[in-house]
Amino acid sequence: MKQPIVGYHRDAENHWVAELACGHNQHVRHDPPFVSRPWVTTSEGRQSMRGHTLECVKCDRGCESDR
């Protein structure tokens, strides 16, 4: 299920995590060549992706909110 990004925070290992409207969190790493998300490396890039939707596997599984 697609869910929009509403915010970001860093995890204990300093990786960026997207906060989704559904209450779930999802890591958003830039880890070429496996995952190309250069927008995650800058504040401007992250802000430009607010509202963009990501596939939320936790919603698909019926998981409880992460918050």
Give the number of other Cβ atoms within 10 Å of residue 17's Cβ. Answer: 16
* pLDDT digits 0-9 by tens, 20-64: 999 999 999 998 888 899 999 999 999 999 999 999 999 999 999
Chain-centroid distance, C-alpha 30? 11
Does any domain span residue 66?
Answer: no
Domain count, the chain: 1
Residue 67 lies inside a defined structural domain of this protein:
no
In a domain, 43, yes or no: yes
For residue 42, the domain's CATH number is: 2.40.50
Of the pLDDT bands very low, low, confident and very high (cuts 50, 70, 90), residue 17 is very high
In a domain, 24, yes or no: yes
Domain containing 19: what range?
A: 2-61
Q: What is the Cα Rg of the chain in Å?
A: 12
pLDDT for res 65 = 96
Which residues neighbour 61 within 8 Å (Cβ) at sequence distance 6 or greater?
A: none
- Assess if residue 31 is contained within a domain: yes
